[in-house]
Every structure is written in C-alpha cells, then in structure tokens.
Amino acid sequence: MAAAASPAAASAVVAPAVAAVAAVAAAASPTAAAVSVELAAATAYLSVDGDRRIAYERHPTTAAAAAEHTFVCLPSLGDVRQECESRRPRESRTCGPLPRRSDGWRLVRCTRAHTCPRGPPRRPADRRLLPLLRRRGDVVTVDLRGLGGSDVGFASYTPEDTGRDVVALVTALRLTRVVLVVCSMSGASAVWATTELPAGTVAGVAFLSPFTWDHPISAFVKFQVWAFLRPWCGGAGIWAGNYRSLHPLKNVDDIETYCAGLQGNLEQAGRLDVVRAQVFASKASCAARLPAFLAARVPFSVVYGSMDHDFPDVAAEARDFTARYTAAEHGVAPTEVAVFEGAGHYPHTERPAETMAIIDRLLTRIASRGGTAGSTAAAAMAAATEAAAATTAATEAAAAPGEAAAAAAPATAPPATA
C-alpha cells in the first residue's frame, strides 16, 4: 500500500474542497478529537483506532443544484472499493495454476479466463449505482477496516466497530442529512451508527440484503470458513469465486476483472484473517440498538434478491425484517420492501436502475417528513428513474424474454403510513 501524502502535499494536487477535509478533521470537537484525515491523490484516509486508518473517497454530486443529502455507502464484508492504480493488464491468464507468488503463497487456480489488473478496480456496485446516486447528492464510498485500501491490524472487526468508523467519518467530515446505503453486514452497522450520531444526522437508510441480527451458522459452514479461508488453501480465490456466485443474473460485465482484483487484495498479508473475523463477528450489540433506531423514526427501505443464497428463504427473511422493523407505537415501518426476482446478494449491482428508483422514493419520503423544498424535485427524479428502469427492463426482456422480464419485476410491500 502506498504511503498517504501529507495534507500539505495533497493540497497541491487535489481540489481545495477536498483538501479542506484535513482542516475539518483537525477542528476541536469532542468526537473528532481522536480522528485525523490524511489525503492521497484520489483516496483519503481516516485514522479511527490509533494509527490504523480506513480508506474512503468523496464523489461530488453531478447535479446542477447544491446537494441536499450525502450518501455514505458501506459494502458487504470481503468487498473492496480501492481504486486501481493502473488499468493496464499485467498479463492474460486462462484456467490453470498460477505461478507461485513472490511472497511464497501456494498456487491459486483460476476458475475462468480473465485479465489480472495491477490493482483492485472499483467494485461493480460503485461503477453501476454510484453515478445514479451522484445525480441526487454527494457520495462517500468506504472500505471496511482491514479490506481494500484500509489498514489491517485493528483490534477487532465487528459490525459495531464499523458503526463507530461511520460515526467518526461523518463527524470528521461534518456531514449532515446523511443517507446510509448499506449492504449485508453493514446493515447492522447502520443501525448502530444512526442511534449514536446526533438526532437528525442520518436522514434515511437504504438496506440492501441486510444482516442486522445474528443468524445461525452451522458447524459445517463454520469449519469451512475456518479451514479454507487461509492463504495456503487458496482462500482469496475461494472468496472471489463466492463473490462471483452472488451475481446469478450474470449481467455485470466487469465481474471477472473485479474478482481478479478482489483476489489480489485478499492475498495481501492479514486480509483473509479480517474476512474470517467478520464472518464470525456477532451483531448482538447492533441488534440491541433496534428500539432506539425505531424510536428515531428514520425512514428506511430494504431490497433483497430472490436468488440470494446467503438467506435460506429470502421471502421469509423479508417478512422477518418487516416484522422486526415495524413499531406501531412509533408509527414506523419500512417505507418499501422489495425482492428483485432472479437477483442475488447484490441487487443494487444487478439492478441499479430499479434500486435507484426505490432510493428515490425513499428520498421523497424523507423530503415529505422534513418539509424540504426538494420534495417536488425528488418526486420528479423518482419518476424519471422509474421510467429509465422500465426502459432497461424492456431492453433486456427483448434480448432474453424468458429471464430478464421476470427479473425486472420486484415484489414490493406497501409503503409505511408514518
């Protein structure tokens, strides 16, 4: 990992608005006192645990008007945001054993032909959903501690730790009206962070295939994770293959390039240890914050993929989530619950336009609750996004009538009344 440039050096090569982040983090504040920001070209680093840093990147809105919201996007475990230093291929490889790495790890077998990049490219979700989010507001993408561009060597890697990192980041950057867009185990972190930040800081949450409470893990799966997510077992390749399998619609054109970069990142010392720690980490402390989360009456929506094999029964999982996240005493229920037919654990990657339509309706809900001037604009944006989603679905249906037509139709629960 390249060393981060100092704020003074970085200010010469990045926009003043980005360079000002260092000054923001240095401002005296009870919460921000323990954090600092270093800048390096496109990626910034936030110190959250002594000298350990998480990597993130700020993407300004492409809209003409000033952004009303900032989307903070948190990935699933074992997913990385890190920008590729060079998109030139190192060499093309087909199925077969790879040469032994210079650090001595065993051979890793490719499962498909691909081109190995020099560094990890952006995750497919960032490339497909992020441009849509930027039309609505500023976006901050983050690497979980221990993964991507973030440091290893943290004391722990629990969902609560990720929640603390979110609180530190939002505080250091002085973000307001934050909309959390969270996938998988980061859903639990969003619940924790929402209740920890000052009231009103988090304006809404978009849960994507969320794990927000502890699910039982069989002894066999525990053994598989413990035994095979090891460098000498080709654990990085195993995890990259698992990531590929979580996109059953097979409509992500850069999945092979990304999986090669993901494997390369996980082959770095200590990163598979992080993945194992995250798999086994309890979400109990985050789940305990659910009553406070519901009492905050923050609007939220949830999206699943019907072919997500991380859940034994996706429909049952969606019903369970709805039941747990409905509080009649607070007038709270999910704004929307959608299951995208045929999609996997990353519905926002396979169906970005449809996911953005749901987020737009969430923004409309937020605007109506807050009485912001942007409610009409948000409604217009939602209508435009739904039209774009319908066009995309029609195009794919024409190409593959038997599959794409069904995959484009989400099953949606009635919106909440509060």
Q: What is the pLDDT of residues 31-87, one digit of tens each?
A: 333 343 433 337 899 999 888 999 999 999 998 888 889 999 999 988 887 544 333
Cα distance between the two ends of the chain: 47
Q: What is the pLDDT of residues 222-242, one digit of tens each?
A: 888 888 889 888 899 999 999
Query: Is pLDDT at 93 greater than 90 in this prediction?
Result: no
Strands 70-74 and 178-183: parallel
Domain-wise residue ranges, the chain: 54-412
CA dihedral 182, 185, 190, 191 (to 10 degrees): 140
Would you mind telling me the total number of residues written for the chain in this entry? 418
* Whole-angstrom distance, CA of residue 45 vs CA of residue 36: 8
* Whole-angstrom distance, CA of residue 77 vs CA of residue 294: 25
pTM above 0.85, yes or no: no
Of 78-92, 100-114, 263-277, 394-408, which gets the smallest average pLDDT? 100-114
Q: What is the pLDDT of residues 379-404, one digit of tens each?
A: 444 455 555 555 545 444 444 444 43
CA 45, 350, 310, 113 dihedral sign is negative
Maximal C-alpha separation, the chain: 61
Closest CA to 81 of 48, 111, 35, 45: 45
Strand partners, 202: 178
Q: Does domain 54-412 have CATH number 3.40.50.1820?
A: yes
Amino acid type, 374: G
Please state, in angstroms and as integers, the Cα–Cα distance from residue 278 to each residue in 146, 156, 185, 281, 375, following that order. 10, 9, 9, 5, 39
Q: Which residues touch 285 (CB under 8 Å, ≥6 apart)? A: 158, 159, 160, 192
Helix orientation angle between 255-266 and 271-280, rounded to the nearest 10 degrees: 100
* Whole-angstrom distance, CA of residue 260 vs CA of residue 246: 15
Query: Is pLDDT at 94 greater than 50 in this prediction?
Result: no
In the chain, pLDDT over 90 holds for what percent of residues?
Answer: 56
DSSP string spanning 48-78? EETTEEEEEEEE---SSSPPS-EEEEE--TT
Please state, in angstroms and as integers, the Cα–Cα distance from residue 221 to each residue in 311, 321, 335, following that order. 13, 23, 34
Task: Find the DSSP H helices in 96-140.
Answer: 124-134
pLDDT reported for residue 50: 87
Mean pLDDT of the chain: 77
Q: Which residues touch 246 (CB under 8 Å, ≥6 apart)? A: 308, 309, 310, 344, 345, 346
pLDDT reported for residue 65: 82
